[in-house]
Amino acid sequence: MSVLVYTENWDGKFKKLSFELVSYATEVAKMLNTSVSAVSIGNVAWEELKKLGNYGASRIISIQSGHLATLDNQAYTSVIAEVSQKENATVLIFPNNNTGKAIAPRLSVKLKAGIGSGVSRLPLYTHPFTVYKRTYSGNAFAHLVINSDIRILTLAQNSFGITETPNNCVIENLSSAFDNSTGKTVLREGQKQSGKILLTDADIVVSGGRGMKSPDNWPALVELASFLGAATACTRPVSDEGWRPHEEHAGQTGKIIAPNLYIAVGISGATQHLAGISSSKCIVAINTDSNAPIFEAAQYGIVGDAMKVLPKLVAAVKEIKK
Amino acid sequence: MLPPAFYYICLSKAYLLYTAIVAIRHLLNYILENMKILVCISIVPDTTMKIRIGGDKRSIDTVGIQWIINPWDELSLTRALELKESSSGAIKSVTVIHVGTASSEPALRKALAIGADDAIRVNAEPSDAYFTAAQVAEMVSKEKFDVVLCGIESSDFNGSAVGGMIAEFLDIPSVSAVSDIKSDAGTVILTREFDGGKEEVTVPAPFVAIVQKGIAKEPRIASMRGIMNARSKPVRVAEPIAIEPLTCIAMFEKPEARPGCRFIDAENAGLLIELLHDEAKVI
Ligand SMILES: Cc1cc2nc3c(=O)[nH]c(=O)nc-3n(C[C@H](O)[C@H](O)[C@H](O)COP(=O)(O)OP(=O)(O)OC[C@H]3O[C@@H](n4cnc5c(N)ncnc54)[C@H](O)[C@@H]3O)c2cc1C
Ligand SMILES: Nc1ncnc2c1ncn2[C@@H]1O[C@H](COP(=O)(O)O)[C@@H](O)[C@H]1O
């Protein structure tokens, strides 16, 4: 028996997300009295793979095959299904990001394993296996019972955190076993953002809504973000208007994020916006209207004009960083 | 003078090439002329509705709830119709499918009014993603759809699962987080997003595309004529196949209440930063 965790890499490096997943898997494995195996697909150096051991993985299965360079949902599913059988996994854990969403549901059918997606806590019980899952876009949480012998969980990012549990791990290179795993997905061209803090990775997010009035006012918000080392986000009308790029749109129909700190500037707090940000650990709102619903979700609030408040915040951050 | 055999070889090569081209064009035309698109539709409470948990704790109180087509599915239907209209007849039909009880007929009628050619309702409670996907997969293999569109997430169950599951049941390709679909000389090109970038890919049909933001700008609204036309369009009711769900909901809980907001005077905004640093310890 084991808990198998899928650890995604970006250009050969693991991110916080993968370490959080291994930390989570380690706690799940404790509940089941078993150990964690991590599977990694892609060219990741031995020292990088070894890092997964710091968070409690005891076995690391590395598959470095040129055929799997492009994500092919079918091929990845077959590879992970085979690894899962080899590791005798009873729980499989994925990130609830686009990659997890691409693979986990297919695997669910292939292994006849019930899926609990977007879980934000450890399983509530192991008999019957019950997870705590977000539903109705954060307006209700379900106790979901998974009745199959194998279960698949996708973890909401930043909901569990990282815990170090150093473990002496064994790395097994299974590349040759999957030399023929060619997929049907043909890559035509790709684009990567570089140098920017990714919204989904950020610990701090500064976000603007229609109350910012004009794209010309954004530099004040971006300045605060850069002093805080934060990513920038926005509401849907702001990205629809083309004031900001659509990757920044947070909410039910945009990105779902859970940073430690979310600063909402000139945002009313519509339910569809809250659906994407309500899991943030601390929410701050700046709004001229003291009745704006965003204040119901906020821990700290300032009733005031964004363009007057932002420079004061920048000055205070500079003071603190001194 | 070259020997006649030379001409013969040249000709036969040319002929082979010619037949190959004809065969490929034939295939492309086939795809182009007969493409059938299926749009999966989930029917959910209006996203502005307050969600109350029912007395049995295992369900949502549906009193007063307005039911709508899941936002993603409305957008994928819109995009499917746009593709059909610009395909000069190559896309034959856009069908919508929903797994659900008779109470969802009004939302299906709305999909027809927006422009879908016909609708299929699999007459069953959609107990879980596995059950739902199995029902859709059954209809896809029966009716041979070429492209299946699904939303990346239903706003009620937030499963992000049905689309991928349909593809695996059918053992066909799936592409997830698709933000654009276009057709270029018989090939369907999909743009998919990942953390930190996007890429254009192709997969052979039949396939499932799981769509997200970007796929269409605004959902199409039913016109008066659309509403009239919808009356004569069929909603076919199919009985479900027997499939055991893998999961069930034991109970619902409301999210934890927020502690309440501490207000800071705008004139003294700098205090906020101190509190975030010393009290909340988030910067
Ligand atoms: C199906 C569906 C899905 C949706 N999905 C999303 C989604 O994913 N994400 C999303 O964000 N929205 C989404 N929406 C839209 C959502 O309903 C709201 O319309 C939107 O979030 C409002 O954006 P806003 O707060 O920027 O603008 P507004 O609601 O216009 O709010 C602007 C706020 O700024 C304040 N303000 C004005 N002037 C100032 C000033 N000088 N200084 C400070 N504050 C000021 C105002 O008091 C007001 O509260 C969706 C809607 C639908 C129907
Ligand atoms: N009952 C249903 N009938 C048809 N399609 C569905 C149903 N439920 C979900 N889907 C499709 O699957 C997508 C993702 O749903 P989910 O897996 O529940 O998040 C939705 O956007 C729909 O396209």
Per-residue pLDDT reduced to its tens digit, A130-177: 999 999 999 999 999 999 999 999 999 999 999 999 999 999 999 988
What are the residues whose beta carbons fall under 8 Å from the beta carbon of B209, sequence distance 6 or more?
A: B147, B148, B149, B150, B163, B174, B175, B178, B181, B190
d(CA A266, CA B18): 64
Q: Which residue is closest to B194 within chain A, CA to CA?
A: A98
Rounded to the nearest integer, the mean pLDDT of chain A is 95
Q: Is the pLDDT of residue B110 over 50?
A: yes
Least confident range from A229-233, B30-34, B164-168: namely B30-34
pLDDT at residue B184, as a whole number? 82
CATH class of A2-182: alpha beta
Least confident range from A13-17, A47-51, A113-117, A179-183: namely A179-183
Q: Which residue is closest to B209 within chain A, CA to CA?
A: A102
d(CA A67, CA A49): 20
CATH class of A199-321: alpha beta
Q: Give mean pLDDT, residues A279-289.
A: 97
**pLDDT tens digits, residue range B247-263?**
999 999 999 888 899 99
- Give the angle subtended at the CA of A205 by the CAs of A291 and A201, to the nearest 5°: 140
Alpha-carbon Rg for chain A in angstroms:
21
Q: For a pLDDT cut of 90, what percent of chain A falls above it?
A: 91
d(CA A167, CA A163): 12
Handedness of CA B172, B173, B178, B184 (dihedral sign): negative
pTM of the model: 0.92
> In Å, how far is B268's CA from the nearest CA of chain A?
8
CATH class of B34-238: alpha beta
Quick one: which atom of ligand 1 is closest to the CA of A306?
42
Q: Give mean pLDDT, residues A55-76.
A: 95
Residue A305 beta carbon below 6 angstroms from any ligand 1 atom: yes
Q: Give mean pLDDT, residues A297-314.
A: 97
Handedness of CA A170, A173, A174, A178 (dihedral sign): positive
| Closest ligand (CA of B160) | 2
pLDDT at residue A206, as a whole number? 98
Q: Is the pLDDT of residue B106 over 50?
A: yes
Residue B40 beta carbon below 6 angstroms from any ligand 2 atom: yes
Q: Give mean pLDDT, residues B104-123.
A: 97
> In Å, how far is B253's CA from the nearest CA of chain A?
5
Residue B71 beta carbon below 6 angstroms from any ligand 2 atom: no
pLDDT at residue B35, as a whole number? 93
Of A140, A141, A253, which is closest to B71 when you measure between CB atoms?
A253
DSSP string, B211-230: E-TTS-SS-----HHHHHHH
- For residue B272, the chain A residues in CB contact (below 8 A) are 284, 300, 302, 313, 316
Rounded to the nearest integer, the mean pLDDT of chain B is 90
* Distance from chain centroid for Cα A24: 13
Closest alpha carbon to A280 in A211, A205, A210, A227: A205
Pocket test for ligand 1, best of A271, A273, A284 (most atoms within 8 A of CB): A273
Q: Which DSSP helix (H) or strand (E) runs through A160?
A: none
pLDDT at residue B256, as a whole number? 85
Residue pointed to by tokens 């596995």: B130
**Considering only residues 290 to 319 of chain A, which have any Cβ-Cβ distance to chain B shorter than 8 Å?**
295-305, 308-309, 312-313, 315-317, 319
**pLDDT tens digits, residue range B56-92?**
999 999 999 999 999 999 999 999 999 999 998 899 9
Closest alpha carbon to B156 in B104, B193, B214, B191: B104
> In Å, how far is B6's CA from the nearest CA of chain A?
39
* Interval between CA B25 and ligand 2 midpoint (Å): 35
Q: Is the pLDDT of residue B8 over 70?
A: no
Whether the CB-CB separation of B145 and B166 falls below 8 Å is answered with no
Residue A111 tokens read as 């292994």
| Predicted confidence band of residue B195 (pLDDT cuts 50, 70, 90) | confident
pLDDT at residue B23, as a whole number? 53
Whether the CB-CB separation of B172 and A109 falls below 8 Å is answered with no
- For residue A299, the chain B residues in CB contact (below 8 A) are 258-259, 261-262, 280
Alpha-carbon Rg for chain B in angstroms:
25
Residue B70 beta carbon below 6 angstroms from any ligand 2 atom: yes
* Interval between CA B277 and ligand 1 midpoint (Å): 28
Q: DSSP code of A315?
A: H
| Closest ligand (CA of A291) | 1
Q: Is the pLDDT of residue A192 over 90?
A: no
DSSP string, chain B: ---HHHHHHHHHHHHHHHHHHHHHHHHHHHHHHHEEEEEE--EEE-TTSPP-B-TTSSSB--TTPPEEE-HHHHHHHHHHHHHHHTTTT-EEEEEEEEES-GGGHHHHHHHHHHT-SEEEEE-S---SHHHHHHHHHHHHHHHT-SEEEEES--TTT----HHHHHHHHHT--EEEEEEEEEEETTEEEEEEEETTEEEEEE-PSSEEEEE-TTS-SS-----HHHHHHHTTS-EEEEPPPP---SEEEEEEEPPPPP--PEEE-GGGTHHHHHHHHHTS---
Q: Judge whether A113 is closer than 8 Å to chain B, CB to CB.
A: yes
Residue B61 tokens read as 């109180």
Q: Is the pLDDT of residue B5 over 80?
A: no
Q: Give mean pLDDT, residues B4-11.
A: 52
Residue B240 tokens read as 């479900």
Q: For chain B, which residues make up each domain, given as ranges?
A: 1-33, 34-238
* Interval between CA A211 and ligand 1 midpoint (Å): 8
Distances (CA, A) of A18 to A70, A122, A231, A274, B23: 19, 16, 20, 26, 48
Distances (CA, A) of B210 to A39, A106, A193, B81, B129: 25, 12, 22, 16, 14
pLDDT at residue A181, as a whole number? 83
> In Å, how far is B165's CA from the nearest CA of chain A?
5
What are the residues whose beta carbons fall under 8 Å from the beta carbon of A65, sequence distance 6 or more?
A: A41, A175, A178, A179, A181
Pocket test for ligand 1, best of B44, B46, B47 (most atoms within 8 A of CB): B47
| Residue with the larger pLDDT of the pair A112 and B20 | A112
- For residue A77, the chain B residues in CB contact (below 8 A) are 168
CB contacts < 8 A (A, B): 278
Beta bridge partners of A153: A93, A116
* Interval between CA A178 and ligand 2 midpoint (Å): 33
| Predicted confidence band of residue A191 (pLDDT cuts 50, 70, 90) | confident
pLDDT at residue B14, as a whole number? 56
Residue B161 beta carbon below 6 angstroms from any ligand 2 atom: yes
**Considering only residues 217 to 256 of chain A, which have any Cβ-Cβ distance to chain B shorter than 8 Å?**
228, 240, 246, 249, 252-254
Q: Is the pLDDT of residue A203 over 60?
A: yes
CATH 3.40.50.620 spans which residues of chain A?
Answer: 2-182
| Predicted confidence band of residue A251 (pLDDT cuts 50, 70, 90) | very high
Q: What was the ipTM of the complex prediction?
A: 0.94
Residue A172 beta carbon below 6 angstroms from any ligand 1 atom: no
CATH 3.40.50.1220 spans which residues of chain A?
Answer: 199-321
What are the residues whose beta carbons fall under 8 Å from the beta carbon of B222, sequence distance 6 or more?
A: B110, B113, B114, B115, B230
pLDDT at residue B48, as a whole number? 87
- For residue A110, the chain B residues in CB contact (below 8 A) are 168
pLDDT at residue B21, as a whole number? 53
Residue B150 beta carbon below 6 angstroms from any ligand 2 atom: yes
| Predicted confidence band of residue B26 (pLDDT cuts 50, 70, 90) | very low
Q: Is the pLDDT of residue B30 over 50?
A: no
Least confident range from A8-12, A122-126, B15-19, B161-165: namely B15-19
pLDDT at residue B185, as a whole number? 77
pLDDT at residue B29, as a whole number? 44
- For residue B193, the chain A residues in CB contact (below 8 A) are 98
Residue A210 beta carbon below 6 angstroms from any ligand 1 atom: yes
